[in-house]
Chains A and B, each alone.
Chain A
Amino acid sequence: MTQALEIRNLTAHYGTTKVLDDLSLSVGAGELVSLLGASGCGKTTTLRLVAGFLTPTNGTITLGGRDLTKLPAHKRDIGLVFQNYALFPHLSVMDNVAFGLKQRGLPAADRAARAGKMLERVGLSALADRLPGALSGGQKQRVALARALVIEPPLLMFDEPLSNLDAKLRIDMRVEIRQLQRANGTTSVYVTHDQEEAFSISDRVAIMHQGRIMQLDTPETLYQKPANAFVARFVGFENLIPMEVVRRNGDSVTARAPGGVELDFSAKRFPAIPEKFVLGTRPDGLTVTADPGAKGIPATLGLRTYLGRAYQYQCETEAGTLVANGSLAAPLAAGEKARLEPVPEQCCVLAVE
């Protein structure tokens, strides 16, 4: 019942513009993989290609070994949950959920029984006779979910399913979606532009940009060890500082930042540091200190903003403008000289691109 999705060398065009560039992606049986990226990155295109609403210029799509590439959409047997719910406005909640079963030729009694059970699972039994127009956003999304699940598809796909809901409901619904998906063990592809949502719900996340997957990994790895500058910036490593190794001494690697300051790195934490590399840090990963003896990048402080847990400074350095945080206990004024100390736990090492 649960099957693996295999996308190989998928290329797609809108007219003459290439929107998907030789994309390959495997989603294991029972796994939930998110496609994450800004609008126009190709995530929705990928989903529509798999669903059969677009035709690729090149590449193959297989589900559990079955080649879908040439199959029309209605024969693909994929459960889809749409951003705008896409409920049939003229059919009751019950008939919406039973629609797919009707297409499969199930007798009316079976349809009602299975759809009824599904509605119970999403907690909407009481609304079975309503029309979609009379439901709230959250209820509509539950109907859409039930409608996609009731056909017991080998693959479920979600297209930004929560983006029309308010913040609180969004969190409740994503837990609910994850629980239903886990319980059924259905292979799933989840498209979203919301990083928190993708990281919280997925087994693995594919970060996409300009029609390509920049990195596909578990949320933990993506968050701590981005593979390239794009992903690093995407997950919050705002400061990218070019570095050059000057010495290697057992476990310690010393590298020079622009301006000549030398910083030490533990080879245990950052194995295989190349001769030239880029140090990525989050604002939390650079501590602003007024102590002139501290081992850090010299900076002139600019605008200070209050974050609640810390102050954040715009800092002018030899490596350009960096964003760094300083303690609430000792606010510093604009124009003061300070040093920015890297916090190893909030840093990453990237290859020069």
Chain B
Amino acid sequence: MLKRHAGWILAAPATLLVVLFLVLPVAATIASTFGDPKGVFAPYIAFFNSGFRRTVLWRTLEISLATTAISLVLGFFAAYAVSRAPSRMKSVLIIAAVFPLLTGVVVRSFAWLIILGKNGILNNFLVGIGITDQPFNMLYTQGSVIVAMVYLFTPLMILTLVGVLENIPDDVIQAASSLGARPSAVFRQVIFPLAVPGLIVGAVLVFTGSFTSYATPQLVGGERQMMMGTLMYQRAMVAFDWVGASTVAAIMVVITIAVVLVMTRIARRLNPMAT
């Protein structure tokens, strides 16, 4: 009797924690947006009727897509170099990518305040070499948020893609060159197509991460570059509009889960190694 339920008994504490303190509270948050007496979808209509909030959603999508695209390119080339590096060098490069990940988001975003600030390193440098005579504000722009986000997510992308590239068996690559494929042909015809599913997984990680980020837009973007995360905080803790905050939360959950489900399904279909 005990044996038949052993699995459930062992898994019960973790299951209960997730159900009681994640599934139910998040469901309650989403449900709270449908209780408006003015109509079931009233909070959503209000959200999309507000030009400011539409701009925030649009900006968040833009920044997240740009971050994803740039870190895909940086991450893929770096990961390719890492995966083909001699083994001693490879471990050094992997540790160098892991270390920033271990450092918190706050610290890594804060670094950009020192670099991009009005009296920051970059401005001092530009004035110093005479490109401009007036320091200009680079912080609190869309560009600064994107740079900081790319910085935040590139290590994650590198590590994900190194894993993907290392999974491509050596003998498949050797088979290609034994059949006469030049290194560039091996890259285009074998390595890249086999890495596509992994690229999608990396892209999903970075997109959802930047789409729901809070600390970076708060520090580097400020009020002027408000994103969904900072908007939600502002609604909840400054305006005390909990329904409004819940609406932002619900939109974030729907978009992230939709992206994850659709993209992982595509990745799985494209993955020839799965069958």
Name the one of A74, A89, A99 contacting B273, with C-beta atoms under 8 angstroms: A89
Does A80 contact B169, Cβ atoms closer than 8 Å?
no
**Smallest CB gap from A98: residue in B:** B179
Q: List which B136-173 residues lie within 8 A (CB) of chain A.
A: 169, 171-172
Does A89 contact B179, Cβ atoms closer than 8 Å?
no
- Chain A nearest CB from B268 CB (Å) reads 13
Does A86 contact B272, Cβ atoms closer than 8 Å?
no
Residue A84 is within 8 A (CB to CB) of chain B in the complex: yes
Give 1 or 0 for each of A244-268: 1 = CB within 8 Å of chain B CB.
Answer: 0000000000000000000000000
Give 1 or 0 for each of B254-275: 1 = CB within 8 Å of chain A CB.
Answer: 0000000000000000001111
Tell me, in angstroms, the Cα distance from A103 to B181 when the chains sit together.
Answer: 5
**Smallest CB gap from B183: residue in A:** A74
- Chain A nearest CB from B198 CB (Å) reads 13
Does A133 contact B274, Cβ atoms closer than 8 Å?
yes
Does B182 contact A89, Cβ atoms closer than 8 Å?
no
Residue B97 is within 8 A (CB to CB) of chain A in the complex: no
Residue A124 is within 8 A (CB to CB) of chain B in the complex: no
Instruction: Identify the interface centre among B180, B273, B274: most chain A CB within 10 Å of its CB.
Output: B180
Tell me, in angstroms, the Cα distance from A148 to B169 when the chains sit together.
Answer: 18
Residue B190 is within 8 A (CB to CB) of chain A in the complex: yes
Residue B15 is within 8 A (CB to CB) of chain A in the complex: no
Give 1 or 0 for each of B55-76: 1 = CB within 8 Å of chain A CB.
Answer: 0000000000000000000000
Using Cβ atoms and an 8 Å threshold, which residues of chain A touch B174?
Answer: 51, 53, 73, 80, 82, 86
Give 1 or 0 for each of A62-91: 1 = CB within 8 Å of chain B CB.
Answer: 000000000011111111101110111110
Tell me, in angstroms, the Cα distance from A266 to B91 when the chains sit together.
Answer: 66
Does A74 contact B172, Cβ atoms closer than 8 Å?
no
Does B193 contact A90, Cβ atoms closer than 8 Å?
yes
Known pairs A90-B193, A90-B194; A99 contacts B274 (CB<8 A): no
Known pairs A74-B177, A100-B179, A103-B179; A133 contacts B171 (CB<8 A): no
Count of chain A residues with a beta carbon within 8 Å of a chain B beta carbon: 32
Does B182 contact A82, Cβ atoms closer than 8 Å?
no
Residue B176 is within 8 A (CB to CB) of chain A in the complex: yes
Name the one of B171, B179, B193, B194 contacting A99, with C-beta atoms under 8 angstroms: B179
Tell me, in angstroms, the Cα distance from A134 to B275 when the chains sit together.
Answer: 7
Name the one of A86, A100, A131, A133 contacting B180, with C-beta atoms under 8 angstroms: A100
Does A73 contact B175, Cβ atoms closer than 8 Å?
no
Does A84 contact B171, Cβ atoms closer than 8 Å?
yes
Known pairs A88-B190, A90-B193; A99 contacts B272 (CB<8 A): no
Using Cβ atoms and an 8 Å threshold, which residues of chain A touch B182?
Answer: 74, 103
Residue B178 is within 8 A (CB to CB) of chain A in the complex: yes
**Smallest CB gap from A92: residue in B:** B272
Does B180 contact A104, Cβ atoms closer than 8 Å?
yes
Does A133 contact B178, Cβ atoms closer than 8 Å?
no
Does A86 contact B169, Cβ atoms closer than 8 Å?
yes
Does A133 contact B172, Cβ atoms closer than 8 Å?
no
Using Cβ atoms and an 8 Å threshold, which residues of chain A touch B172?
Answer: 86-89
Name the one of A73, A87, A104, A134 contacting B177, with C-beta atoms under 8 angstroms: A73
Residue B114 is within 8 A (CB to CB) of chain A in the complex: no
Using Cβ atoms and an 8 Å threshold, which residues of chain A touch B189?
Answer: 99, 102
Residue A147 is within 8 A (CB to CB) of chain B in the complex: yes
Residue A151 is within 8 A (CB to CB) of chain B in the complex: yes
Tell me, in angstroms, the Cα distance from A76 to B190 when the chains sit together.
Answer: 19
Residue B23 is within 8 A (CB to CB) of chain A in the complex: no
Does A76 contact B178, Cβ atoms closer than 8 Å?
yes
Using Cβ atoms and an 8 Å threshold, which residues of chain B touch A99?
Answer: 176, 179, 181, 189
Instruction: Identify the interface centre among B179, B189, B194: most chain A CB within 10 Å of its CB.
Output: B179
Known pairs A86-B175, A90-B272, A131-B272; A103 contacts B169 (CB<8 A): no
Name the one of B176, B177, B180, B185 contacting A88, with C-beta atoms under 8 angstroms: B176
Known pairs A90-B194, A99-B176, A100-B180; A84 contacts B169 (CB<8 A): yes
Does A74 contact B275, Cβ atoms closer than 8 Å?
no
Tell me, in angstroms, the Cα distance from A88 to B190 when the chains sit together.
Answer: 7
Q: List which A83-140 residues lie within 8 A (CB) of chain B.
A: 83-84, 86-90, 99-100, 102-104, 131-134
- Chain A nearest CB from B190 CB (Å) reads 6
Does B275 contact A86, Cβ atoms closer than 8 Å?
no
Known pairs A89-B194, A90-B194, A103-B185; A74 contacts B178 (CB<8 A): yes
- Chain A nearest CB from B98 CB (Å) reads 26
Using Cβ atoms and an 8 Å threshold, which residues of chain A touch B190?
Answer: 88, 90
**Smallest CB gap from B181: residue in A:** A103
**Smallest CB gap from A95: residue in B:** B189
Tell me, in angstroms, the Cα distance from A88 to B171 when the chains sit together.
Answer: 10
Instruction: Identify the interface centre among A77, A78, A88, A133: most chain B CB within 10 Å of its CB.
Output: A88
Does A86 contact B171, Cβ atoms closer than 8 Å?
yes
Tell me, in angstroms, the Cα distance from A103 to B175 when the chains sit together.
Answer: 12
Tell me, in angstroms, the Cα distance from A99 to B177 when the chains sit together.
Answer: 10
Tell me, in angstroms, the Cα distance from A87 to B178 when the chains sit together.
Answer: 12
Give 1 or 0 for each of B173-207: 1 = CB within 8 Å of chain A CB.
Answer: 01111111111011001100110000000000000
Interface, chain B (partner A; CB < 8 A): 169, 171-172, 174-183, 185-186, 189-190, 193-194, 272-275
A-B contact pairs, 23 of them (CB 8 A): A73-B174, A73-B178, A74-B177, A74-B179, A74-B181, A77-B180, A79-B178, A80-B174, A82-B174, A83-B171, A84-B171, A87-B175, A89-B172, A89-B194, A90-B190, A90-B193, A99-B179, A103-B182, A104-B180, A133-B272, A133-B275, A147-B179, A148-B179
Given A74-B180, A133-B275, 17 more pairs with CB closer than 8 A: A73-B174, A74-B179, A77-B180, A80-B174, A80-B178, A84-B171, A86-B172, A86-B174, A89-B172, A89-B272, A90-B190, A99-B181, A103-B180, A103-B181, A103-B182, A104-B180, A151-B180
